[in-house]
Structures are given as structure tokens and as C-alpha cells.
Structure 1
């Protein structure tokens, strides 16, 4: 993967980084909706900034990378973040892995993901659980939430950031899949998880970890 990045002139540029642009770059779908929301803000979208401010006063976006891949042990497929953000608040760096949603689920559960078992999957799951400070996870937990959160921590370590945030930016008008997020947040020790809230779940692998669910501006669904 190249380490050279070129600034995006408009949201349409984001499409080229998708695994399946024709399938995923569609009006009302998360990839396109998220791209227009963040590109037009040229910063944190206002609703994201409002939620982050609950924990990080005057958070400043330093860098945002669409479809940013983070390598994981066990197999060749990386964790592909919809957006990865490096931010700063009160002199401390923050690594933020953003997962965009409209109606799309969080992918397979751990049980479904392991339906075709392999040594690589066993190695990867063990790594993710260790990084997240878990001894085990219920089979019903969504695998994507594990590796997306791990991405935030891994990049925090790489950039020497004190904090990592796994942030779901959902444009669903009925908060679809919020329950799956809440189950994961509870597993991580957050207790009750709610919309437009950021929760802290302690130190994981030397990084202070936080989880957030942000309700996006529905006007971007028609972009």
C-alpha cells in the first residue's frame, strides 16, 4: 500500500478507493453519504464535532484518510476504515476509526465469520481479543466492530496518540444496528450506549479507548 496520499478535490474522488465502486457508490448508501458529509465540511461534520466535544474540547482534525487500510495478523485482508482521522485536543493526539452506516449491517457475527475456520482466523481473533483486553467475546458480537476498534488502537500506537476512538457515523433515520453497537460497547465495559454519545472504556494496549455513535445529517442521503 502506498504511503503517498493526494488531497481529494471533491467527494467523487473517494469512490476510486472502494473495493467495489459500482456496487457501493450509490445515492443513499453509506460510502457516498459519508464522503459528501465529510468532504463538504472539510473538517469534522458539525454533529461529529459536537459528540467529540463531550470528551475532547475543541478537537482539531489534522488529517482524514478515506478507505484507510490497517494491516492485521492472520490472513491478507486488512481492516479497511471508511475514514481514519488523526486529530488533536488539548495537546494530545487522537486516532479515530470512522465506520459509516445507513442501512448496512456490521457484517457477520463472530460465529458466522468463523463458519469456514482456518488457522489465520484463529490467529486474528486471538490477536484482536488480546489487543482489546478481552479474554473472549460472545459469538453474536459483530466481527467488524472488533477489527474496526482495533484499527483505531493500532494507528494510535503508530502515531503515538494518547487516545483512540471507534466512531460510528450513522445516517439511518431509525438507528438501524444501534443494538449491535450497544452489545459491543457493553462487552467493552461501557454499560449503556446511546446515540450522539461518546463513552470511555479504559486503557487498552497503552491507549485510552473511546466508543461513539453519531447521528448524521439526513440531507446527505440525497447527495
Structure 2
């Protein structure tokens, strides 16, 4: 993982950071749509800011940020890692962009052949985010490691809290049910446009939110 971040010159700067810069950079898909939206905002997009309150401020945003999960496996590549200040607290935030794409494999599929490495990783993720292991197998693995990456970066940057935000540009809020099922693990009833938190063992609060993006960016 590179430690030096180059300032963006516009949405096109994000393309080279993708795992597949050709396949993933398509009009109407999440990577390009998210980049267009955040670049146009020059700060927090209004719908994301609304989750955190009237004084919410973007301190820094890093596209396609890779977070080590403290093992030899693949890093968690967060669409945007953002440091947000709100109510005089700093929040390490993992932003997952979505249009119509799924949240990837379910636990039952990802863990179908539980190698020692996968067993170690799943236990680490569950312990870190504070849920039982193994978790329900109908939940999406991506949401586990994306939440964990926010907590790990909160520890590393010594922020007050952490957050995992889905920034969706789907007019039908596609895959909201999958997100809602995941946050129910924490006793949270999910609603679009609302932020909900769960106190963690380390004293921080882990926040979850679903922000509905402006559809104008789907055509850019």
C-alpha cells in the first residue's frame, strides 16, 4: 500500500486506481459515478453530509484505499476512505459505492471451502466488529471486511469513531435489503438516509448509513 497520495485533478484521476481500469470505469457503474459525484461536491456530497449533521466536514478523501486485514490475504480495497469531522469528533469512514452491482459473494459461498487462511480471516473480522463467528451465511462477505477496514483505520488514525457508508445511486435502492440484513447483526434497523451507531468495545461508536446519490451522475 502506497503511503503517498497525489492530489486529484478530476474524476478521471480515479480510473488508474481501479483493479481493472478499463472494465470498472464505465458510465452508469459505481466507480465512475462515485468519482463524478465526489469530485463535483468538492467536499462531502450533500446526501452523505446529511447523515452526519449540519456541521459535517470532509477533512480528506482517498479513493480506492487499501487496508490490510492483518494476514497474508488480499487487502480490503475501499471505494473511498474519508476522514470526516462532525459534532467536534473525527470519524474514519469507509464508503462503498453502489449502483446495481451486488455486494459480492455471500458468506456461504466465500466460506464454502474454509481453508485455514479463510477460517483465520473470518474469525478476525467477526471478533473485530463484535459479532459471533461463524456469522449467518446469507450475509455478504464484503460488508464484513469493509466494516472492519473502517475500524482498523480508526485505530490507526486514532479517530473518535468509525463509519461504514453505502453511497447508492440505484433509483430503486437495489441491494438495500442485503445492507439492512447485515446491520441487523448489530441490533440496528436500517433506513435510507439515516445514520445509526453501535458502541464498540474500544469506546468508539461504529456508525452505519445508506446515502442515496443524485442520479444525474449516472450519465457522466
- The alignment's C-alpha RMSD in Å is 1.1
Task: Select 1:67's aligned residue among 64, 69, 74.
Answer: 64
Q: CA deviation at 1:92?
A: 1.8
1:42–1:204 Cα change, 3 Å: farther
- The corresponding residue for 2:213 is 216
Matched residue count: 219
- The corresponding residue for 1:45 is 45
- The corresponding residue for 1:86 is 83
1:30 maps onto 2:30 in alignment: yes
Structural mapping, 1:91-170, within 5 Å = 91-136=88-133, 137-170=135-168
Q: CA deviation at 1:75?
A: 3.3
TM-score when normalising by structure 2: 0.96
1:195 maps onto 2:197 in alignment: no
- Contact 1:75 1:121 (C-alpha < 8 Å) held by counterparts: no
Runs (4+) off by over 6 Å: none
Mind listing any 5+ residue stretches in structure 2 that lack a counterpart? none
- Contact 1:74 1:122 (C-alpha < 8 Å) held by counterparts: no
* CA distance in 2 between partners of 1:123 and 1:22 (Å): 33
- Contact 1:157 1:207 (C-alpha < 8 Å) held by counterparts: no
* CA distance in 2 between partners of 1:84 and 1:133 (Å): 21
SS in 2 for 1:220: helix
* CA distance in 2 between partners of 1:217 and 1:146 (Å): 26
- The corresponding residue for 2:5 is 5
Mind listing any 5+ residue stretches in structure 1 that lack a counterpart? none
1:139–1:205 Cα change, 3 Å: farther
- Contact 1:133 1:205 (C-alpha < 8 Å) held by counterparts: no
Q: CA deviation at 1:204?
A: 4.4
TM-score when normalising by structure 1: 0.95
* CA distance in 2 between partners of 1:207 and 1:83 (Å): 21
Q: CA deviation at 1:73?
A: 2.9
SS in 2 for 1:64: strand
- Contact 1:94 1:165 (C-alpha < 8 Å) held by counterparts: yes
